[in-house]
Chains A and B, each alone.
Chain A
Amino acid sequence: MQGRMLMADSRKLEKMLKNYLITAWRSILRRKVFSLINITGLAVGIAAGMLIILYVKHERDFDLFHRNADRIFSMGIRMGADGDSLFVSRLRYTDAPVVTEREPSVAGFLRIRKGMEHVMIQDPAHPSVKFSEPGFAFADSNFFDFFSFNLLQGNSREVLQNPLSVVVSEATALKYFGTTDVMGRVLRYNNAYDLLITGVAENAPSNSSIRYDFVASLSSMSAMPELRQLAEKGRFDFLTFFTGRDDRAMPKVERSLAQLRKERDGEADGRFVGIPMQNFRAESGSDVNTVKYLKIFPFVAALILLLAMINYVSLATARAVLRVKEVGIRKVMGAGRSNLALQFFTESFLCIGMAFVLGYVLCAVLQTWLFGVLKINIDSSFIRKPGMLARFGVLFVVLTLLTSVYPSLLLSSFKPAALLYGRIINGGNAGVRRFFTIFQFAVAVLFVLCGIIIQQQIRYIKTADTGIDRDHVVTIPFGKDLSRHSLAFKHEVNSLGSIQKAAIALRPLFGGYDMTGVTPPGTEKITMMPMLEVDQDFISILGLQWKLPPADPLFYKTRQNVLLNEAAVAQLSPGKAPLSQKIAPFVVSGVLKDFNWKSLQYAIQPLIIAVVSDADSNAMWRGDRSVWTGSNGCLFVKIRAGANTALVLNQVKKLYQKYEQDVPFEYHFMDEAYDAMYRAEERLAIILSGFATLAIVIAGLGLLGLITFFAAQRVKEIGIRKVLGASAANIVTLLSVDFVKLVALAILIASPLAWYSMHRWLRNFAYHTEIRWWIFVLVGMGAILIALFTIAAQTFRAARANPAKSLRSEG
């Protein structure tokens, strides 16, 4: 009996819902423009929110998608004293096995050896299929078991068992063979060894620090004499990961390694430091700022979503004015409050559902473009992952509840008699609406202000005098073969007509530096100092300025002679005449004015510049330095202003290829390398400007809803005023002043917030722009103008309405 009743109830509800959906759909269609504004507004907000959720989830999960990621850590060694130390994130070949044997809390380990240099890989069956590969690594046989990278072919425990076996990524397989069905095929390593393909792996996801094109078995190294030495010499050359049995394993491993080092090397310098997997990216890469700004984005996304939601609610309740009649009729026809609440809830659900689908589509379509603009790398498949969809689902439910409950309750609460007999509904929620408007504009103004100030900082950075003339300077990294002929190459490039000058350095500027130990005068202690190794043309090609030029212009003929920057002088021998000071093992022969050799985020740090003479440089650039420093040296080229850059570079390329066949010709414009240091800031600026625009649009829409509501409420008042002789201009002013007040209040709230947050942000930079007062005035005026423009149409319509109509008495 009860079951039957339930059945009947559910069928009744079903019929009811169907009726509600029909009404909702027709009412959406009836007010096309309104619905379009409302749904698109929300959809855009949702898309923005989704994109940010996607981005944040992607970044948060960085390196954490591996099984047991919370118990994986890598180990490195910090050498030198605190403050000026050098961190090497690698261990020696034999370290991990010994520690694992000694330390019961270690469940497993993995060693990866990835050289800095490119290797040549060739398909022996088609000799012309030959590429220089940067992504080649040797790894212990448990690589695919230790990390959760999926194998398309091959068994994760077996693929790397034998020497001279290799697993290739999907992309690599396609690149060499045009198919992923490549098991059993052979690839030739550095023209010498044939590696058997034993597995094909999915490409590493975009949120993995560990990337690979080729993973060869570590045991292959013992089959290659030149690499066998590496293992035997005991260099810190192996990226080593451990899995702990619990979360206390890391300090134990640190201690165990220190003990091991003591046993082997006696009292050697260095402290072992573990890096949990979640910090691996920040410690190993240069993306520190991206990680830092990651915290801002969820906040921004929440604000944008909140804006869109407020807007939706605001418009939905504004429309309530138009729906009151229907509510009245339905109540008289027998609808209970719950019926009506459910009806409006269904409507809301339908609208939000549509906005959500539209938002998802927008998000899916725009992500490639947007992430491209932002120079963020996120796999496009990420948006379809179950984890993401689950999050979007939660977002949908929360959104529906938050945006639907209030309008539903509000609309269903109206009393029928009042509605049907045209009595004015007193908008008890006018205060809420005012608050909404203030909030929306405050957020918009905040975003705009922050966006502008960040842009100004970026412009400041780009135009600041860093003491380096970056214009028309190109750097060209050498391959191993070319490094043996670097001098000849330099002279040949120099003789090209469009080249103003060429210089050689060990590394490109803004692309790393070396550390060297020196003993300042009067001390015994060794201080670690950054050092650049360059040739004598380096100083003039970058326009570096002398503070104290060397007495002997040919100072570099003597090997010990080095140059310091002012910061180094201040640190090493303050108060003394620097020239000819001995800072063992060097002698100071000149001082350069400070220049920003690192990001403007940092104050200029001490720097030693070792100028190497041509005679020495042959010995300098040649040999196996690359194994240790990761660089074969590079050429700085200054192209004459007005020369055809593409043509010049092509000429240089031809010269390059004369000496170097294996490593492809590469070049970087120095101003681009400089800008690249501020990519995270630029990204922040782009995102903020995008959101600022969005916030303005949404706030504008919200204002439109508000003015519609207020104009409708004040129709009678306006009518009376007109009958009493008010002009249209009077009415427009009357209506506008109210809104200008709201927007002004929003500006007053947003300005100090923007000032404070930007003041703090700018403090991250040792060199930064000033926040200027007129920005606030300008943005404030802009906001008021936008507000006036938005409400103009409605206020004019209200002001020009015929009072006879609005004052007609209701029967």
Chain B
Amino acid sequence: MLLSLKGIYKWVNTGINRTFLLKDINLDIDEGEFVSVMGPSGSGKSTLLNVMGMLDDFDEGAYHFMGDAVQNLKEKQRAALYKQYIGFVFQAYHLIDELTVYENIETPLLYKGVKTSERKAMVADMLDRFQIVGKKDLFPTQLSGGQQQLVGIARALIGNPKLLLADEPTGNLNSRQGEEIMELFRQLNQEGVTIIQVTHSEKNAEYGSRIIHLLDGHVERR
């Protein structure tokens, strides 16, 4: 099992009221799965994704990631964990505008401390795989949305993550570009990458092997 959530709660206190963002989430995800998370706005999709990605805390419950109890880890250890095993893809791509395509993809390796020669080979490999070698010296603003998201995915994959978390990866793309990205996800999944994606679109959700519906912070059974 890759990760398991047991009785996860997350809330914010507003005055005397407590608003629950996540309510009693119980979820096991195995390696090699492709999970789609769906639900209306404000249902807690992104929050759940952030909790799973360890970008955000939760208030109650147990979260085990590859056997480690996340709630018992210190912030630094948690960061070390997600840096090693998780890649993130965002709706708004979130590329660094000051860096070229090549440098954007390279950056995670720099933070990991990968040697120069190895790094070059890895980035070159990734550029080749996504067929964006010709664009490597361009800056993000010079690319189309679809191309930017390709770079975003390449950057997420460069560290060989076990888990890819994607928050509405096609939300800013037109349908053709979106389809291409989803095809790419399916392919990646077949190669062994576990993927959890948040999406609004039924069609995109169908790419997943399992669909989880969220409503008002808890998992809805159908």
Contact = CB atoms under 8 A, between A and B. Distances in A.
Interface in B47-93: 50, 53, 55-56, 76, 79, 83, 88, 90-91
A333 B111 CA distance: 8
A289 interface: no
Contacts of A333: 107-108, 111, 155
A799 B82 CA distance: 42
B208 interface: no
A417 B41 CA distance: 18
A449 to B, nearest CB: 44
Interface residues of A, number: 29
B168 A329 contact: no
Nearest to A18: B110
A332 B171 contact: no
Given A27-B98, A333-B155, A334-B112, A19 B55 contact: no
B206 interface: no
A30 to B, nearest CB: 6
Contacts of B97: 30, 326
Interface size range on B against A? 20 to 34
Interface in B151-188: 155, 159, 168, 171
A809 B112 CA distance: 35
B113 A12 contact: yes
A19 B103 contact: yes
A806 to B, nearest CB: 17
A23 interface: yes
A328 interface: yes
B52 to A, nearest CB: 12
Contacts of A809: 41
Given A27-B98, A416-B55, A420-B90, A334 B103 contact: no
Nearest to A339: B111
B98 A30 contact: yes
Interface in A329-355: 329-336, 339
Contact of B110 (A19, A26, A325, A326): A19
Contacts of A235: none
Interface string A465-494: 000000000000000000000000000000
Contacts of A27: 98
B133 interface: no
A332 B110 contact: no
Task: Name the residue among B55, B91, B159 with the largest chain A CB count within 10 angstroms.
Answer: B55
A811 B171 contact: yes
A329 B96 contact: yes
Contacts of A16: 110
A26 B111 contact: no
Contacts, number: 64
B41 to A, nearest CB: 8
A643 interface: no
A15 B110 contact: yes
Contacts of A30: 97-98
Nearest to B113: A12
A141 B129 CA distance: 87
A329 B112 contact: no
Contacts of A328: 94
A22 interface: yes
Contacts of A299: none
B193 interface: no
A328 B79 CA distance: 13
A333 B110 CA distance: 10
A335 B99 CA distance: 15
A761 interface: no
B189 interface: no
B95 interface: yes
A362 to B, nearest CB: 28
A334 to B, nearest CB: 4
A26 B98 contact: yes
B91 to A, nearest CB: 6
Interface in A392-438: 416-417, 420-421
Contacts of B95: 329
Contacts of A11: 116
Nearest to B171: A811
Nearest to B98: A26
B79 A417 contact: no
B26 interface: no
Contact of A334 (B41, B50, B56, B108): B108
29 contacts: A15-B116, A19-B107, A22-B99, A23-B96, A23-B98, A27-B98, A30-B97, A326-B97, A328-B94, A329-B94, A329-B96, A330-B96, A330-B111, A332-B55, A332-B88, A333-B111, A334-B108, A334-B112, A334-B159, A335-B111, A336-B76, A336-B111, A339-B111, A416-B55, A417-B56, A420-B94, A811-B46, A811-B91, A811-B168
Given A12-B113, A15-B116, 16 more contacts: A22-B98, A30-B97, A326-B97, A329-B95, A329-B96, A330-B107, A330-B111, A332-B55, A333-B111, A334-B83, A336-B79, A336-B111, A417-B55, A420-B55, A811-B168, A811-B171
Interface of A: 8, 11-12, 15-16, 19, 22-23, 26-27, 30, 325-326, 328-336, 339, 416-417, 420-421, 809, 811
